[in-house]
Amino acid sequence: MIQKAFAVLYNQGLICRAGMKGTKEQATDALVSRAVERKQAGEPVAGMAFFLADDVKDGAYPIHFGAIDTPLGKLGHSTDRVGRSVVKALKQTGCWCEWDGDPQHVILVKEN
């Protein structure tokens, strides 16, 4: 189900990756590179959303999200807007999620 949600978000300009390897910082760096590539190709960049493979526990995991700080400047919508978009896409595609609305907090997803 998460792939369906990420596909919806990709169509909205978010760069999404599921089950990334490495640390949060390494994952963020990889997404920054992709954001720069997309921006330079004239494609929209609305933000990012991802989770790490190592964070998955009993089918639950936190999704990190937000605008993207790049050498080209900040790309994407505000972090809270990205969070609301992620939650909406998750719910529309049947994923259970929980978020307190604080842009500094992750979105918790639990798959059945």
pLDDT in tens, 54-101: 999 999 999 999 999 988 789 999 999 999 999 999 999 999 999 999
For 16-41, letters b (16+ CB in 10 Å) and e give bbbebeeebeebbebbbeebbebbee
Please state the pTM of the whole predicted model.
0.93
Contact 93, 12 (CB under 8 A): no
pLDDT in tens, 24-37: 999 999 999 999 99
